[in-house]
């Protein structure tokens, strides 16, 4: 997440990670339909944010061949009661998707990085309040 300062059109950097990296596993290596939702993404604990603040959320997807796709959305934080409620009907994960934590180890890899396998053309929907963010890919 990046935080827009007063008068800034875009944040100077995206230096506030909201969730640790993870791998999304699909049914094939081809593009497929599906839905993926993180219902409760906490705001960074080392940052003070309030209603009316502008932030930019960035989701980075890395294909198996290493190319990256960056999805960004600008959000104005609001009171929880002013934001559409997150329910199992509008925030769910397709049953054909799997998840794994990312890790590296000397026994399995010679590099210090891992690859993420995910489709590269998902839409991004974000519902945000001053205390939490819902990201729907």
pLDDT in tens, 78-118: 998 898 888 989 888 887 777 777 765 565 544 444 343 33
Pairwise CA distance, residues 51 & 68, whole Å: 32
What three-state secondary structure class fits 93? coil
Residue 8: DSSP 8-state: -
Please give the radius of gyration of the chain, using alpha carbons only, rounded to the nearest integer.
16
Q: Are 47 and 13 in contact (CB under 8 A)?
A: no
What three-state secondary structure class fits 135? strand
* pLDDT tens digits, one per residue of 18-64: 888 877 777 777 777 778 888 888 888 888 888 998 888 888 887 77
* pLDDT tens digits, one per residue of 5-22: 777 777 777 777 888 887
The token pair that represents 80 in the structure block: 């929880």
Helices (H), the chain: none
């Amino acid at each position: 997440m990046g935080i827009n300062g007063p008068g800034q059109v875009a944040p100077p950097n995206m230096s506030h990670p909201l969730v640790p990296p993870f791998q999304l596993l699909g049914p094939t290596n081809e593009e497929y339909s599906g839905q993926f939702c993180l219902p409760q993404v906490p705001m960074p604990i080392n940052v003070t944010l309030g209603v009316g603040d502008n932030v930019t959320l960035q989701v980075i997807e890395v294909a198996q061949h290493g190319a990256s796709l960056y999805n960004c959305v600008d959000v104005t934080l609001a009171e929880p009661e002013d934001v559409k409620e997150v329910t199992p009907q509008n925030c769910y994960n397709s049953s054909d998707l799997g998840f794994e934590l990312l890790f590296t180890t000397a026994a399995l890899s010679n590099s210090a990085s891992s690859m993420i396998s995910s489709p590269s053309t998902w839409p991004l929907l974000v519902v945000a309040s001053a205390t939490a963010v819902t990201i729907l890919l």
